[in-house]
Amino acid sequence: MSDSLTLDQLNPLDRAQILAVAWNDLAEGEGKRLRALGIDAGARVAIAHRGVFAGRDPIALMVGRSLVAIRRVHARAMQVERI
């Protein structure tokens, strides 16, 4: 059985499917940007790598064939399940 966690808890290259996004936890403009990048419930994602600074921002996220940078606070708003 797979475990459910937030996206920021994934290890690099772990593949996951987004189960839900707490859109209310994000600013309206941030939510629109993430949706435009294909980041929404049902999307299959993987963390390519994390930033090297103290907050480990940004997170390089693979969404399909695209590589996008998101902030850790965005990743914390996403409930995922490893696949």
55's tokens: 């907050």
Return the number of other C-beta atoms located less than 10 Å from residue 70's C-beta: 24
Compute the distance between CA of residue 66 and CA of residue 63 in angstroms, rounded to an integer.
Answer: 5
Q: Check which CATH number belongs to the domain holding 35 and give it.
A: 2.30.30.90
pLDDT tops 70 at residue 1: no
Residue 78's domain comprises 4-82
Compute the distance between CA of residue 63 and CA of residue 46 in angstroms, rounded to an integer.
Answer: 7
Decide which of 1 and 36 is more confident. 36
pLDDT tops 50 at residue 9: yes
Q: How many domains does the chain have?
A: 1
What are the pLDDT digits (tens) for 12-67? 999 999 999 999 999 989 999 999 999 999 999 999 998 877 667 899 999 999 99
